[in-house]
């Protein structure tokens, strides 16, 4: 049999070598972004006509998957003290199922009976076919007030309720000025106020890096060509339009790394806090330094993996040895929010922690297997990418709001420091609360946590 296999292989290899030279490739715009076929005024009229249905469709999807109610958790506030942490599991269970009953089934049984809660599946962009950056209204309003620059799109609006996203503006903690605490003065950093706010706190190098990070460049849907989704020719977007105060505002986009467009998953803006400890960057691309990331996104239309479109809209190429280093140095002094109960090893100080929090830490390190990737000693991450293989639980290929539901593949481990400040969760923001993440990982990792253990784990996560 092995002999037969070997001869078969040789034969097929020969066949393949003689293979389909000259076969037609897939159509060009499976990889490349096509130029618009119609004048902007007509595109806009159609987009505006579609917009109510686009938003209704997304709202219907969200409501079918999640309980979107405003239900704060008692006594739990985000680090700036301006917004409560939301409580409870928000992912809806299939009819007749409970978390316990699901936990008793194998992944194949859940898949074959279509029992995976839909909120555990990839979350589509509000308009998948167009994609691009979408900002929450509160961020649009503040940037417009400060800079007279309007990030409103005529085709889509933001889709999640304000109470389910991070506080705004988020506090800023500097590794270089820990004694100051929040250095934001309660304001959103923009190109209009950064000098006033940060002169005296930064080096000249950091200040120049900050200025570039706040400078809008014409890319994406915010540019001067007809390939845009704004009414006026647009000045562009800045790095910190998404990464508000070096944290985030739940603004979203799509993974740059996947084609065709229908297969690109949604990206929830990650926080830049703790950048100094982060060794890989991008959920998929694993860029090996923040310098690489900072330089590269300027080349590729901001997260579209597309240097061709970027060149057309106004490519900005910062000098690697000079400006890129400045931008990186600024990002590398952004600290996590204080976690006074943690010791220098990232472990709870028993003298400062409750019994429940300590029990939660034990679950985190042991039965829950959280620390296998989110290692307390290395800022609650491992600088690796891992594949949770969620597709064990569902059949891939269903199209939901024009996005193809596909396996995620390996995704970067994100830090859990300051995690209460960063809803929604997972790389695409498919989970609304920390309680959702506990149920998600409990099912996916098959850890079989009890109700009390889940509560303990939640109490612990809030200390990070």
Partner 1 sequence: MIRTAAILLVAGLATGPAAAQMGNPAGMGADTRMAEPGKPAPHQTNNTDRLFAQLAAAGGLAEVDLGEMARDRADAQEVRDFAEMMVRDHGDANARLAELAEAAHIPLPQELDPDHQALRDRLEGTEGAAFDLAYIRAQIVEHQKTAQLLAWEVNAGQDGDIQRLAADLLPVVLGHLERAQALNGELSGAGVRILP
DSSP annotation string for 321-333: IIIIHHHHHHHTT
Positions 171 through 210 that interact with partner 1 (CB under 8 A): none
Only segment of 255-263, 275-283, 427-435, 437-445 that touches partner 1 (CB under 8 A): 255-263
Binding flag, residue 41, partner 1 (CB under 8 A): no
Q: Which of 268, 306, 335, 391 binds partner 1 (CB under 8 A)?
A: 391
Binding flag, residue 81, partner 1 (CB under 8 A): no
Only segment of 101-109, 296-304, 370-378, 448-456 that touches partner 1 (CB under 8 A): 101-109
Q: Which of 18, 74, 321, 344 binds partner 1 (CB under 8 A)?
A: 18
Q: Which of 32, 82, 129, 233 binds partner 1 (CB under 8 A)?
A: 129
Count of CB atoms situated within 10 Å of the CB of 340: 7
Tokens 């962009």 map to which residue?
A: 125
Residue whose CB is less far from partner 1, 44 or 149: 44
Whether residue 134 contacts residue 125, with contact meaning beta carbons closer than 8 Å, is answered with yes
Record the tokens describing residue 21, joined without a space: 């030279």
Q: Which of 69, 70, 71, 108 binds partner 1 (CB under 8 A)?
A: 108
Only segment of 12-20, 134-142, 180-188, 332-340 that touches partner 1 (CB under 8 A): 12-20
Secondary structure of residue 436 in the 3-state scheme? helix
Binding flag, residue 231, partner 1 (CB under 8 A): no
Tell me the backbone φ, ψ of residue 411, rounded to 5 degrees: -130, 145
Separation CA 347–CA 339 (nearest Å): 10
Separation CA 62–CA 119 (nearest Å): 8
Q: Strands 84-86, 72-77: parallel, antiparallel or unpaired by DSSP? A: antiparallel
Smallest distance from the beta carbon of 8 to partner 1, in angstroms?
5
| Residue 153 vs residues 156, 255, 321: alpha-carbon distances, Å | 6, 19, 35
Q: Which of 27, 81, 350, 366 binds partner 1 (CB under 8 A)?
A: 27
Residue whose CB is less far from partner 1, 42 or 71: 42
Binding flag, residue 220, partner 1 (CB under 8 A): no
For residue 335, which of 242, 272, 386, 292 has the smallest C-alpha distance? 272
Record the tokens describing residue 121, joined without a space: 């599946």
DSSP annotation string for 373-410: TS-GGGTT--S-EE---GGGGS-TT-EETTEE-----S
Q: Which of 319, 395, 448, 450 binds partner 1 (CB under 8 A)?
A: 395
Q: Which of 23, 95, 104, 232 binds partner 1 (CB under 8 A)?
A: 23
Binding flag, residue 157, partner 1 (CB under 8 A): no
Q: Which of 3, 17, 41, 50 binds partner 1 (CB under 8 A)?
A: 50
Binding flag, residue 48, partner 1 (CB under 8 A): yes
Secondary structure of residue 262 in the 3-state scheme? helix
Binding flag, residue 113, partner 1 (CB under 8 A): no
Separation CA 239–CA 243 (nearest Å): 6
Residue whose CB is less far from partner 1, 71 or 395: 395
Record the tokens describing residue 128, joined without a space: 């998948």
Q: Which of 65, 89, 90, 130 binds partner 1 (CB under 8 A)?
A: 130
For residue 155, which of 126, 175, 196, 180 has the smallest C-alpha distance? 126
Binding flag, residue 232, partner 1 (CB under 8 A): no
Smallest distance from the beta carbon of 311 to partner 1, in angstroms?
18
Secondary structure of residue 431 in the 3-state scheme? strand
Binding flag, residue 36, partner 1 (CB under 8 A): yes
Separation CA 275–CA 323 (nearest Å): 18
Separation CA 442–CA 450 (nearest Å): 10
Binding flag, residue 446, partner 1 (CB under 8 A): no
Q: Which of 3, 17, 24, 321 binds partner 1 (CB under 8 A)?
A: 24
Tell me whether residue 72 is exposed, middle or buried, using C-beta atoms within 10 angstroms of its C-beta: 0 to 12, 13 to 18, 19 or more: middle
Query: How many residues interact with partner 1 (rule CB under 8 A)?
Result: 60
Where does this chain bind partner 1 (CB under 8 A)? 2, 4-5, 7-9, 11-12, 15-16, 18-20, 23-24, 26-27, 29-30, 34, 36-38, 42-43, 45-50, 53-54, 57, 106-108, 111, 127-130, 226-227, 259-263, 391-392, 395-402, 404
């Amino acid at each position: 049999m092995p002999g037969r296999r070997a001869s078969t292989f040789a034969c097929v290899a020969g066949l393949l070598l003689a293979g389909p030279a000259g076969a037609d490739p897939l159509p060009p715009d499976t990889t490349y972004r096509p130029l618009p076929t119609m004048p902007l005024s007509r595109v806009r009229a159609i987009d505006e006509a579609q917009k109510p249905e686009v938003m209704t469709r997304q709202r219907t999807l969200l409501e079918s998957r999640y309980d979107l109610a405003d239900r704060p958790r008692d006594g739990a506030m985000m680090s700036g003290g301006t917004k409560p942490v939301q409580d409870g599991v928000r992912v809806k269970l299939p009819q007749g199922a409970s978390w316990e009953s699901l936990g008793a089934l194998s992944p194949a049984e859940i898949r074959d009976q279509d029992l995976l809660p839909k909120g555990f599946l990839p979350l589509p962009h509000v308009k998948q076919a167009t994609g691009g950056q979408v900002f929450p209204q509160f961020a649009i309003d503040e940037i417009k007030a400060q800079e007279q620059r309007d990030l409103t799109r005529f085709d889509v609006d933001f889709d999640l309720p304000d109470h389910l996203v991070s506080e705004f503006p988020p506090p800023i903690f500097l590794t270089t000025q820990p004694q100051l605490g929040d250095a934001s003065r309660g304001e959103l950093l923009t190109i209009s106020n950064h000098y006033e706010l940060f002169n005296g706190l930064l080096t000249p190098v950091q200040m120049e890096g900050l200025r570039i990070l706040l400078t809008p460049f014409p890319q994406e849907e915010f540019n001067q060509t007809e390939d845009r989704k704004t009414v006026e020719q647009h000045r562009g977007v800045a790095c910190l339009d998404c990464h508000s105060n070096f944290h985030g505002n739940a603004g979203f986009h799509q993974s740059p790394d996947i084609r065709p467009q229908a297969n690109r998953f949604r990206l929830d803006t990650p926080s830049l806090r703790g950048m100094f400890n982060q060794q890989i960057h991008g959920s998929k691309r694993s860029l090996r330094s923040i310098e690489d990331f900072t330089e590269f996104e300027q080349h590729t239309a901001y997260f579209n993996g597309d240097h061709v479109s970027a060149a057309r809209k106004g490519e900005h190429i910062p000098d690697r040895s000079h400006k890129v280093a400045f931008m990186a140095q600024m990002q590398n002094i952004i600290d996590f929010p204080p976690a006074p109960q943690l010791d220098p090893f990232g472990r709870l100080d028993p003298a400062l922690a409750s019994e429940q929090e300590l029990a939660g830490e034990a679950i985190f390190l042991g039965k829950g297997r959280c620390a296998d990737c989110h290692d307390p000693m290395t800022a609650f991450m491992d600088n690796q990418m891992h594949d949770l293989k969620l597709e064990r639980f569902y059949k891939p290929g269903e199209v939901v709001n024009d996005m193809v539901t596909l396996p995620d593949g390996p995704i970067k481990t994100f830090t859990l420091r300051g995690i209460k400040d960063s809803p929604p969760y997972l790389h695409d923001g498919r989970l609304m609360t920390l309680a959702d993440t506990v149920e998600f990982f409990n099912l996916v990792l098959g850890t079989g946590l009890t109700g009390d253990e889940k509560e303990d784990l939640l109490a612990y996560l809030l200390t990070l």
